[in-house]
Chains A and B, each alone.
Chain A
Amino acid sequence: MAYSFPEEVLEHVFSFIGSDRDRNAVSLVCKSWYEIERWCRRRVFVGNCYAVSPAAVVRRFPEVRSVELKGKPHFADFNLVPEGWGGYVSPWITTLARAYPWLEEIRLKRMVVTDESLELIARSFKNFKVLVLSSCEGFSTDGLAAVAANCRNLRELDLRESEVEDMSGHWLSHFPDSYTSLVSLNISCLGSEVSFSALERLVSRCPDLRSLRLNRTVPLDRLANLLRRAPQLAELGTGVYSAELRSDDFSNLVGALAGCRELRSLSGFWDVVPAYLPAVYPLCSGLTSLNLSYATIQSSELTKLISQCHSLQRLWVLDYIEDSGLEALAACCKDLRELRVFPSEPFNREGNVSLTEQGLVSVSEGCSKLQSVLYFCRQMSNAALLTIARNRPNMTRFRLCIIEPRCPDYITHEPLDTGFGAIVQHCKDLQRLSLSGLLTDRVFEYIGTYAKKLEMLSVAFAGDSDLGLHHVLSGCDSLRKLEIRDCPFGDKALLANAAKLETMRSLWMSSCSVSFGACKLLGQKMPRLNVEVIDERGHPDSRPESCPVEKLYIYRTVAGPRFDMPDFVWTMDEDSALRPS
């Protein structure tokens, strides 16, 4: 006897299932579940915009309210992906505009967005609420003006780290006077001035505003007025944190900041003048997130601030904090989950600052909830890594960047294989790992053996041979993204593990030893992969087949090869003919 629930009941049950993975599992149970599920899926996340066509997405999921897309490979953040590579959102927006009149949210990362697309978004979606453009480019303040003017129900406009061209218009003034629904605004990446009076009026009339991240052109002496209009703020990104403040200006600022009793997150602080930092002291005990990445001040000032933040969960800071500041952090901020330490002098061989591996060791000892680390430093030892691993087996994200490539253990002069080996051995739930320093194939053997939950691995200037790559591809069961630069990995490991590549989102290899011939072979063998060769030296046919390609980007796809490539990118095809762009 077969019982089946009515569709409405199943749909109601499915409405409690949010995660994409669970939804995907549900859709595989049987045909009727697949059908019911696809009609009630409201959120779609496409991790690689070239993995599937927009038409296929809207065909399968007709009632979507929220779309998230990612474009360029992660290494684009560090200028490794040449301009013009791709990641154009335009075909997606065109399709979404036709298919989803009730679309509410669009989140894009590392995509090329045009003003035309922004205008189309502004015109097409009557109930549009959320626009997040993370590390995007290709648009100007004209596009933003269209969004401001037309999206009556906009809640969130977040331009984090995007490159926006300033057309000298007052785009912010395009929010009509009747518009009051703003909840979150992040314009910290904008280089140009925004109309301050328009900003003040906007903030005044939006009572639900919870997150406001200003850009560096907003002067400190106007900040107080702004804050008095938004005492309900939970997140604030200041503008430039320096000015010629008179003493009553300063006390005005102190009062305004203290009035924001819900403030939990602070960022901004460009050009911070230490004398004005005490204005934020009354907020410190409630802060959970502090981003001081642009605060070029010395350790004592940083330490004074941080040691008051007993509830701190996330800290981003420059290495000016030094080991002493990190010791204070370890002592005072017992709730810390995430630490990022950026290099203040990334281009100098020698640092001017007393930040070593000891700082990270202290934090790993003192902060029992520490899960996520990004740490730039100039020296490291296997002993320190072992200590960190033993202290923090709950670590899930560990990214270490020793600034000098191929830098050995500074005490023993050995490779850092055993240190990173300890990390993957002890931190059984490690999801993300970035390696640096002197590393042989041995470290990859450890990673392949122990890092069973690892999803993303970044490798630079490491390894001796193909064996290294083979260990990773054959051992890391959960691997989704692998990015490699300047390593002596070649054809053998790649071809031997071709099938693995279909289980991953993508593989990036630049300045390695993968030959053009191997790329062609891979493209032939694996029709469900796009094997893209990126080479700015010209047509690969003009060089011998054994010649290594400059850069290689391989990703799984059900959409076939793409056709929007520039003239320095080629897809290796089934018939192994090069596709002209």
Chain B
Amino acid sequence: RTRRGDLNTDLRLGLSIVSPDAQKDNWIGPSVSKQREQRQDWPPIKSLLRTTLAVAGKADTNVHNVHNNDNSDRRRTSLFVKVYMEGVPIGRKLDLLTLHNYDDLISTLAHMFTTSITCPNGDRADHAKSLHVLTYEDREGDWMMVGDVPWEMFMTTVKRLKITRADRC
């Protein structure tokens, strides 16, 4: 669950060491503005609302049709993704909306598949102890390691999950 070492900490550090004069300028420089969407600490809303809105905003295009009167205003009530474990032909399904963060995801999957999975924010030294690592297919069809992007962002780009053998990565 720790956010140390991820993009957001870097973003905060970048702003905090800036001198007072520089802070008076437009604080969002061009290189920072893209990362702004990932900011976990602004605007000041609590995590439950933050997660709900992030998913509603990206995953369901209907929200942007809020001003349309036509057809269904149905919202996603769940976010089921398929999960496969390498070597096992039959997959499982998991509702991501019941989880809060990567730790929840890892422990739920470890439970579901009765194995040990590397925690994405843990030491790479632990890598050796776990049998598996967790990967996902994103909206662009690429297979990525789980854990690099903020949780809310992950939820909006993940299409399916795969538990791969650790010695393969």
- Partner of B44 from the list A78, A163, A272 (CB cut-off 8 Å) is A78
The answer to the question of B98 belonging to the interface, with a C-beta cut-off of 8 Å to chain A, is: yes
- Cα A82 to Cα B36 with chains together (Å): 19
Chain A interface mostly helix, strand, loop or mixed? loop
Residues of A near B47 (CB, < 8 A) are: 77, 79
Interface residues on A, range: 35 or more
Q: How far is the CB of A216 from chain B (nearest CB, A)?
A: 7
Residues of A near B39 (CB, < 8 A) are: 347
Residues of A near B76 (CB, < 8 A) are: 271
The answer to the question of B90 belonging to the interface, with a C-beta cut-off of 8 Å to chain A, is: no
- Cα A460 to Cα B27 with chains together (Å): 13
A-B residue pair count with CB separations less than 8 angstroms: 135
- Partner of B73 from the list A78, A273, A346, A488 (CB cut-off 8 Å) is A273
- Partner of B42 from the list A77, A78, A217, A271 (CB cut-off 8 Å) is A78
Contact stretch, chosen from A256-264, A364-372, A401-409: A401-409
Residues of B near A200 (CB, < 8 A) are: none
- Partner of A78 from the list B1, B15, B20, B45 (CB cut-off 8 Å) is B45
Q: How far is the CB of A490 from chain B (nearest CB, A)?
A: 8
- Cα A147 to Cα B97 with chains together (Å): 26
B1-17 residues with Cβ-Cβ distance < 8 A to A are 1-4, 8-9, 12-13, 15-17
B16–A217 CB distance below 8 A: no
Q: How far is the CB of A240 from chain B (nearest CB, A)?
A: 5
Nearest CB in chain A to that of B67: its residue: A298
- Partner of A272 from the list B45, B48, B75, B98 (CB cut-off 8 Å) is B75
The answer to the question of B115 belonging to the interface, with a C-beta cut-off of 8 Å to chain A, is: no
- Cα A166 to Cα B42 with chains together (Å): 28
The answer to the question of A192 belonging to the interface, with a C-beta cut-off of 8 Å to chain B, is: yes
Interchain residue pairs with CB less than 8 A apart (14): A79-B47, A83-B1, A166-B108, A168-B111, A216-B77, A242-B74, A272-B75, A273-B74, A294-B49, A297-B73, A345-B53, A348-B37, A406-B26, A548-B17
* B interface, CB within 8 angstroms of A: 1-4, 8-9, 12-13, 15-17, 20, 23-24, 26-27, 36-37, 39-50, 52-54, 56-57, 63-64, 66-67, 73-77, 97-100, 104, 107-108, 111
* A interface, CB within 8 angstroms of B: 77-80, 82-84, 135, 161, 163, 165-166, 168, 189, 191-193, 216-217, 240, 242, 270-274, 293-294, 296-298, 320, 342-349, 352-353, 376, 401, 403, 405-406, 458, 460-461, 464-465, 486, 488, 490, 510-513, 536-537, 548, 550
